[in-house]
Amino acid sequence: MSAPLFRAVTMARRLDTGIMERQNTIWRILLLAIPLAVFSIFIVWPLLNSFYYSFTNWNGFNAEYDFVGLKNFSKVLTTRLFTNAAINTLIWMVAAIVLPSLAGLGLALLLDSKIRGANVFKSIFYLPICLSAIVVGQIWVWIFQPDWGLLNMAISAISGEPFTYAWLAKPGSAIYAVIVAWSWQQTGLSMVIFLAGLTGIPQDLTEVAEIEGATRWQRTWHVVLPLLRPATVVVIALSVINSLKGFDILYIMTGGGPFNSSDTLAMYMYNESFKKYRMGYGSAISVILFLITLTIIFIYFRQLKKVDEIYD
Amino acid sequence: MSEVTLKDIRKSFDGLEIIKGVNLEIETGEFVVFVGPSGCGKSTLLRLISGLEDIGSGSITIAGRDVTRVPPSQRGVSMVFQSYALFPHMSVAQNMSFGLRLAKVPKKEIERKVAEAAEVLQITHLLDRKPKQLSGGQRQRVAIGRSIIRNPNVFLFDEPLSNLDAALRVQMRVEISRLHQEIKTTMIYVTHDQVEAMTLADKIVVLNEGRIEQVGTPMELYRRPANRFVAEFIGTPKMNLFDTELVVPQGGSALVSFGSALIPVDDRVAHLQPGASLSLGLRPENLELGSAADPTTAEARIELVEKLGGESMLHAHFPGSKDLFVVNVAGEAAVRPGETVHIKPDPDACYLFDGNGRAIGQS
């Protein structure tokens, strides 16, 4: 190839590459713009609005409102109802992390061993997560129904005496009854994540532990559980975030009652904003909830980084 | 006394027999290599010895004790895996002492044993590191260290060098060999790489389709292969095999054809009828370039020349045939692809195999 021709071909190639790169960039921006627009409209904009209204006394209807500064926040943080909701959220969160995580881990360990019909059981245990929280809530409302609910009927049948405890109507048991329903639904999700984690553990590691003299329990404790740490971090993070968002199942089963005994921060925020028409006050609660969630996500990412540092 | 004895071992998976009656005796302190192509059952056999797989039938004895139904941890074996199998959440020292900690050995003794093993393997400076911070070679040393520390009767190695690059593999091969000379414990090593087998083994066990084809020292297998399979498997490049037939001229001695030439063979074919079908085996290093005037040379056409520096591999075929064979010539071969040459075999180094692939004596 002669030198001028070579230069021309090289230039044409560069030109081609330049055009293609520009086209690629336009496509990338276009394709990213769609989810970004959706995210902005439905997440970022309401979030910014919440921040804005948390400094106002807006009632949710009128066009007029006043700026009240940090008054909503100081009120929220000093009211007994907020403390009650915060304690309930903590109970709800801890239970919602511990119960489904432990049950999911147990099921995953059980179903990962070569037992007959494991796939059928996996599907059955995963099924509740496919149902909406409203449906799950309604099922458990029926189960907890004092007169003809499955639970009381079972207790009556076993004890031989009529048992009509109103699980959802008593302040001492309402939130725990909802936690049971929530755990029943969330266990399938934890199980699936732990099963995926177990699949990623090389068989060589458990085999070498076996040769080194580890019993089945020791293999689980010293090898399997530590290697499930990445899955555990995901399960816990999801449980925390889901539990903080937990609203619909509470709304269906107790509505935060009786006597605010099952009120969580999300429930409290809803009641203040939409039932009592105190949108500014409700927004302040939502901002506090947002900051708590953000802190947990921050901790989650730090844990994730630590996990990455250990594992390949 | 034999350290390991395998008696009529059989193993099936889903009705498919993978190990088909293996009998083997391994002496104390011997370095035995199981070698064979992929799927021949060598790793399965190792796992049966370790106890990670239950045997279908037969018996396994280790150090004079029947361990057929004994769990892996009580067989007195340790195993090094291809993947190193190091626990990623434990440091090197914790990995090495895992078994001892489970056995509740006193802390001081664990520390002493870890230090000793680390010294032997030159990994003392790595004891506090996590596996992720180690190179492939270092990881493999740690895995070996974990084995040494348990002081087993038998070391089992399942393709331990396969994940390493070529240079590191050679280095680790030397180190494993040195280690064996130092600790003199029985070692069973699985590999598909016959160079590893030849360089490491006191005794090689060639496996094929779940059966032992031959057991012997590396040079025994190289010089006296029992059959075509072993002949082809041992040696790099592999032995050339040619279909041939026995020719016995009137009053003359027996000959076999090699392309257009005839090679004299000795008394070992005396029991065969003229015209009997045979396979003639010639290693690439036992062929050389000859002259057209020499009646013992056969005409061939060069297809490919591989220049390896110290030697050249000539890939050639006889006229009218498409089957390639390899000639190993010293230095840089002065031939080109497409050129016609004359190949001279060494009649003293030819192997003969009968119709069933069994070796017929040796010239």
> Is B304 contained in some domain?
yes
The answer to whether residue A213 neighbours chain B at the CB level (below 8 Å) is yes
Whole-number pLDDT of residue A154: 94
For residues A270 and B156, give the distance between their C-alpha atoms in angstroms, rounded to a whole number: 65
Whole-number pLDDT of residue A255: 85
Using H for helix, E for strand and C for coil, what is the string for B42-80? HHHHHHHHHCCCCCCEEEEEECCEECCCCCHHHCCEEEE
- Tell whether B263 and B204 lie within a shared domain: no
> Is B231 contained in some domain?
no
Identity of the residue in B85, B87, B102 whose CB atom sits nearest the CB atom of A213: B102
Read off the CATH number of the domain in which B168 is found: 3.40.50.300
Q: Tell me how many domains chain B contains.
A: 2
Contact B87 A226 (CB under 8 A): yes
> Is B285 contained in some domain?
yes
> Is A60 contained in some domain?
no
- Tell whether B130 and B171 lie within a shared domain: yes
Q: Which of A67, A83, A63 is nearest to A75 (CA)?
A: A83
- pLDDT tens digits for A208-258? 999 999 999 999 999 999 999 889 988 988 888 788 777 888 899 988 878
Q: Which of B268, B95, B349, B80 is nearest to B190 (CA)?
A: B80
Beta carbons of A256 and A262 less than 8 angstroms apart: yes
- Tell whether B82 and B184 lie within a shared domain: yes
For residues A1 and A12, give the distance between their C-alpha atoms in angstroms, rounded to a whole number: 15
Contact A205 B150 (CB under 8 A): no
- Tell whether B196 and B263 lie within a shared domain: no
Whole-number pLDDT of residue A245: 73
The one-letter amino acid at B184: K
Q: What band does A312 get if pLDDT is binned at 50, 70 and 90?
A: low
For residues A126 and A128, give the distance between their C-alpha atoms in angstroms, rounded to a whole number: 6
Task: Compute and round to an integer the Cα radius of gyration of chain A.
Answer: 27
CB atoms under 10 Å from CB of A214, counted, come to: 20
Q: What band does A72 get if pLDDT is binned at 50, 70 and 90?
A: very high
Q: Which of B241, B255, B120, B119 is nearest to B185 (CA)?
A: B120
For residues B212 and B226, give the distance between their C-alpha atoms in angstroms, rounded to a whole number: 11
For residues B115 and A205, give the distance between their C-alpha atoms in angstroms, rounded to a whole number: 23
- Tell whether B207 and B266 lie within a shared domain: no
> Is B234 contained in some domain?
no
> Is A136 contained in some domain?
yes
For residues B256 and A253, give the distance between their C-alpha atoms in angstroms, rounded to a whole number: 94
- pLDDT tens digits for A131-172? 888 999 999 999 999 989 999 999 999 998 888 899 998 988
Q: Tell me how many domains chain A contains.
A: 1
The one-letter amino acid at A184: W
The arithmetic mean of pLDDT across residues A110-128, rounded, is 86
> Is A7 contained in some domain?
no
Residues of A in contact with B103 (CB under 8 A): 213
Q: State the nearest Cα–Cα gap between A220 and chain B, in angstroms.
A: 13
> Is A11 contained in some domain?
no
Contacts of B275 (CB under 8 A, 6+ apart): B245, B246, B247
Task: Give residue for tokens 């953000």.
Answer: A294
Residue B25 belongs to what H/E stretch? strand B16-27
Whole-number pLDDT of residue A1: 52
pLDDT higher than threshold 70 for residue A4: no
For residues B81 and A204, give the distance between their C-alpha atoms in angstroms, rounded to a whole number: 7
Contact B81 A312 (CB under 8 A): no
Domain boundary residue, one of B226, B256, B289: B226
> Is A63 contained in some domain?
no
- Tell whether B214 and B245 lie within a shared domain: no
Whole-number pLDDT of residue B333: 81
Read off the CATH number of the domain in which A239 is found: 1.10.3720.10
Whole-number pLDDT of residue B363: 42
> Is B91 contained in some domain?
yes
Contacts of B131 (CB under 8 A, 6+ apart): B84, B86, B87, B88, B90, B92, B95, B139, B142
> Is B359 contained in some domain?
no
Domain boundary residue, one of B226, B251, B269: B226
> Is A162 contained in some domain?
yes
- Tell whether B204 and B316 lie within a shared domain: no
DSSP summary character for residue A242? H
The structure tokens listed for B298 are 């056969």
- Tell whether B299 and B344 lie within a shared domain: yes
The answer to whether residue A311 neighbours chain B at the CB level (below 8 Å) is yes
- Tell whether B198 and B269 lie within a shared domain: no
For residues B118 and B99, give the distance between their C-alpha atoms in angstroms, rounded to a whole number: 16
Task: Give residue for tokens 């699985």.
Answer: B190
CA A76 centroid distance within chain: 24
> Is B360 contained in some domain?
no
State the ipTM, two decimals.
0.82
- Tell whether B211 and B273 lie within a shared domain: no
Q: State the nearest Cα–Cα gap between B91 and chain A, in angstroms.
A: 10
pLDDT higher than threshold 80 for residue A8: no
For residues A198 and A112, give the distance between their C-alpha atoms in angstroms, rounded to a whole number: 7
Domain boundary residue, one of B204, B226, B248: B226
Which three-class secondary structure state does DSSP give residue A153?
A: helix
- pLDDT tens digits for B274-283? 888 889 999 9
- Tell whether B125 and B65 lie within a shared domain: yes
For residues B20 and A282, give the distance between their C-alpha atoms in angstroms, rounded to a whole number: 76
pLDDT higher than threshold 60 for residue A2: no
> Is A157 contained in some domain?
yes
Of A69-73, A192-196, B331-335, minimum mean pLDDT range: B331-335
Task: Give me the domain span that covers residue B246.
Answer: 240-353
How many alpha carbons lie under 13 Å from residue B187 in its C-beta half-sphere? 27
The answer to whether residue A209 neighbours chain B at the CB level (below 8 Å) is yes
> Is B36 contained in some domain?
yes
* Strand pairing report for B203-208 and B211-216: antiparallel
Residues of B in contact with A211 (CB under 8 A): 50-52, 72-73, 77-79
Beta carbons of B43 and B103 less than 8 angstroms apart: no
Picking from A203, A204, A208 by the largest number of B CB atoms within 10 A of its own CB, the best residue to mutate is: A208
For residues B128 and B94, give the distance between their C-alpha atoms in angstroms, rounded to a whole number: 9
Task: For chain B, list residues with pLDDT below 50.
Answer: 363
- Tell whether B127 and B265 lie within a shared domain: no
Q: Across the strands, what pairs with B247? A: B255
Which three-class secondary structure state does DSSP give residue A160?
A: coil
> Is A29 contained in some domain?
no
- pLDDT tens digits for A24-44? 888 999 999 999 999 999 989
Exposed/middle/buried for A248, CB within 10 Å: 0-12, 13-18, 19+? Answer: middle
Considering chain A, what is the average pLDDT of its residues? 88
Beta carbons of B297 and B290 less than 8 angstroms apart: yes
Task: Cite the beta strand spans of A162-228 per DSSP E.
Answer: none
Picking from A114, A210, A211 by the largest number of B CB atoms within 10 A of its own CB, the best residue to mutate is: A211
Contact B99 A212 (CB under 8 A): yes
Beta carbons of B287 and B328 less than 8 angstroms apart: yes
> What residues of chain B have any CB closer than 8 angstroms to a CB in chain A?
50-52, 71-73, 77-79, 81-83, 85, 87-89, 98-99, 102-103, 130, 132, 146, 150
Residues of B in contact with A214 (CB under 8 A): 73, 98, 102
